[in-house]
Amino acid sequence: MSDEPRIIKKYQNRCLYDTQESAYISINDLKQMIYDGKEFVVQEAKSKKDITRSVLLQIIAEEENGNEPMFTPDMLMKLIRMHGASMQNVYGDYLEQSMDIFETKSKEFFDQMGKTMTHNPMTMWADLTQQNLKHWQEFQDSFFSGSKKSK
């Protein structure tokens, strides 16, 4: 299997063609490929011009028109203001790095939650109770042994 991204051709009639699968696909199929972590490049069928960004923006626009948009109007206006600004590249790099960090930390969090949820909650409570009782006993032992010495 190749590490090369999958080539998706977009025809003038807006049809998308997956060259790896030799099949026509929909925007929803592309969205699923993104969720599955599959790499792809979208090209105009005739000119082979890379139009991946515009197709990804189309997917985001369709998602934003759904029930629960991610971006507020204020945030979108700020993004638009960044375009053409003298530090446009810096903003883009910053946003990309921030998203990478957020993605990594989210994965770590959900991995930890998954590990926690695989244990029986009653066993977890029993273990926690045992640990607390042990610490309480150690505290009492040290407290009372200290008070006996002071007499």
135 within a domain of the structure (yes/no): no
What local confidence, expressed as pLDDT, does residue 86 receive? Answer: 82
Residues β-bridged to residue 18: 8, 23
What is the pLDDT tens value at each position of the chain, 151 positions in all?
557 899 999 999 889 999 999 999 999 999 999 999 999 999 999 999 999 999 999 999 999 998 788 999 999 999 888 888 788 888 888 888 998 999 888 888 887 777 776 667 677 777 778 888 888 888 777 766 655 555 5
133 within a domain of the structure (yes/no): no
Per the structure, how many domains does the chain have? 2
110 within a domain of the structure (yes/no): yes
What local confidence, expressed as pLDDT, does residue 68 receive? Answer: 87
What local confidence, expressed as pLDDT, does residue 138 receive? Answer: 82
40 within a domain of the structure (yes/no): yes
What local confidence, expressed as pLDDT, does residue 149 receive? Answer: 53
What local confidence, expressed as pLDDT, does residue 136 receive? Answer: 81
Which ranges in 20-120 belong to alpha helices (H)? 27-35, 52-64, 73-82, 88-117
Q: Using an 8 Å Cβ cutoff, are 82 and 91 in contact? A: yes
Give the position of tokens 């929803």: 28
Considering the domain architecture, whether residues 52 and 100 belong to the same structural domain is answered as no
d(CA 127, CA 3) in angstroms, rounded, equals 46
